[in-house]
């Protein structure tokens, strides 16, 4: 049974007690990421994620790592465009240790100047690693193409020049403005009672100060979608292609039709793009479609990596497949198979406490409520052939923005730009 509670200072707690498991996963979700930055501090959300592992008043960076290693637990974090999450997975008996340590990281990190300078080097190396990973790089270029100067077009890792300029004061100011109680959700899933969860979290988190910042009052600007195309010349073996069209925001009433369309088009081994481009013709190893749902907008996209000589064939196939789906949609048989596939994949993925915790935290942060499995299954089952046809014509049947990285000229791609 899932539950939703508030700590005395306004932090939201969502949880699910699962007595059949021996693990507990806890995530601290903060409503901030590259979307909440400006160009001059782009990258600070991700940099701060790193810095919370670099030592507190009680623990050095090595102590923090050892604290989880010594109990056989896991701890990590990630930053996205719209949220940051610090999470741990431990045996149920070690839940209090996980809460104590995560609270210490969140509230008592020292941000020592020498650690800041060292971590700048680490993140700069991470940025350079992405530059050497063309299938990741092409996605960043695609976002920049379609969202331009809007923060959704910013890279999550940030810019080297920004990283070099960050000071201890910059980091502390960002924490004060964004890491506020009303902007934090704590999600817990596993073999720990609701009573125990609330006792521990109130003790370590609820006693902290109420909101001092105005993060919950930030008004997000809905981005415009731009059909810009670009080619980044790079000495690679493959050409990495990524296409995008406007998608749907989180919580949209047509989102499940979009999910089923995406599943049939390119998000599974039996999907049309995978079968036609890889299995039937051997033109790519990696080819897939995706849909990214943000708070107030979305992006539907397609990726393919192929040899330079195969670029025209791959682009023609992608275009033809999308046009056919936009005109015909899915048959009832294809839709029914897709429903079972999506439901099965979702439910199998939720067999662990980490995925249960993530689902709870992300839904609360982005939608402000729990979305039960029964509700999700009902909405999937309710999608009709007509619903998919409508969303296919609306999204897949239009022009795509394009980003390409690799040894290919604009003249080759000009028919699709």
Query: Where in the sequence numbering do the catalytic residues fall?
Result: 49
**CA–CA dist 51, 175 (Å, integer):** 11
CB 181 within 8 A of CB 9: yes
CB 108 within 8 A of CB 58: yes
CB 265 within 8 A of CB 272: yes
CB 14 within 8 A of CB 3: yes
CB 120 within 8 A of CB 157: no
**CA–CA dist 208, 181 (Å, integer):** 9
The first and second tokens of residue 388, run together, are: 């998919």
For residue 210, count CB atoms less than 10 angstroms from its CB and return exposed for 0-12, middle for 13-18, buried for 19 or more. exposed
- Length reported for the chain: 417
Among candidates 160, 87, 164, which has minimal Cα distance to 130?
160
Among candidates 220, 247, 245, which has minimal Cα distance to 33?
220
The strand ranges marked E within 128-252 are 184-190, 229-233, 239-246
- Residue 316 has a CB neighbour count (10 Å cut-off) of 12
Among candidates 257, 275, 252, 255, which has minimal Cα distance to 339?
257
Q: Helix/strand/coil (H, E, C) string of 252-298?
A: CCCHHHHHHHHHHHHCCCCCHHHHHHHHCCCCCCCEEEEEEECCCCE
Radius of gyration of the chain measured on its C-alpha atoms: 23
The first and second tokens of residue 262, run together, are: 């995406």
The first and second tokens of residue 19, run together, are: 């007595």
**CA–CA dist 406, 388 (Å, integer):** 34
Among candidates 208, 212, 209, which has minimal Cα distance to 102?
208
**CA–CA dist 163, 42 (Å, integer):** 8
């Amino acid at each position: 049974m899932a539950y939703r509670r508030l700590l005395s200072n306004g932090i939201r707690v969502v949880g699910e007690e699962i007595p059949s498991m021996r693990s507990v996963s806890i995530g601290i979700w903060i409503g901030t990421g590259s979307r909440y930055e400006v160009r001059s501090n782009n990258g600070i959300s991700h940099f701060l994620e790193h810095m919370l592992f670099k030592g507190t008043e009680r623990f050095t960076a090595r102590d923090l790592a050892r604290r989880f290693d010594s109990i056989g637990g896991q701890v990590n974090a990630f930053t996205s465009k719209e949220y940051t999450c610090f999470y741990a997975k431990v045996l149920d008996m070690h839940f209090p240790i996980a809460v104590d340590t995560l609270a210490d990281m969140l509230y008592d990190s020292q941000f020592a100047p020498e650690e800041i300078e060292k971590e700048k080097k680490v993140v700069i190396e991470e940025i350079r690693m992405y530059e050497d990973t063309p299938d990741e790089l092409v996605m960043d270029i695609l976002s920049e193409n379609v969202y331009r100067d809007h923060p959704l077009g910013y890279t999550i890792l940030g810019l080297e020049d920004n990283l070099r300029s960050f000071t201890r004061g910059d980091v502390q100011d960002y924490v004060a403005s964004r890491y506020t109680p009303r902007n934090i959700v704590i999600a817990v899933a596993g073999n720990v009672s609701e009573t125990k969860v609330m006792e521990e979290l109130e003790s370590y988190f609820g006693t902290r100060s109420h909101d001092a910042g105005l993060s919950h009052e930030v008004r997000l600007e809905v981005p415009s979608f731009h059909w810009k195309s670009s080619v980044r010349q790079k000495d690679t073996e493959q050409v990495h292609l990524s296409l995008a069209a406007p998608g749907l925001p989180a919580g949209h009433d047509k989102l499940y039709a979009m999910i089923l369309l995406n599943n049939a088009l390119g998000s599974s081994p039996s999907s049309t793009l995978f079968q036609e481009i890889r299995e039937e013709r051997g033109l790519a190893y990696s080819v897939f479609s995706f849909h990214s749902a943000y708070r107030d907008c979305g992006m539907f996209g397609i990726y393919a990596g192929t040899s330079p000589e195969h670029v025209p064939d791959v682009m023609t196939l992608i275009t033809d497949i999308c046009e056919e789906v936009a005109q015909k949609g899915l048959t009832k048989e294809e839709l029914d198979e897709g429903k079972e596939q999506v439901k099965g994949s979702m439910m199998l993925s939720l067999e662990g406490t980490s995925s249960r915790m993530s689902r709870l935290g992300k839904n609360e942060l982005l939608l402000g409520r729990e979305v039960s499995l029964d509700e999700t299954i009902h909405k999937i089952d309710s999608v009709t052939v007509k619903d998919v046809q409508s969303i296919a014509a609306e999204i897949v049947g239009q022009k795509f923005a394009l980003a390409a990285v690799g040894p290919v000229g604009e003249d080759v791609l000009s028919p699709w730009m």
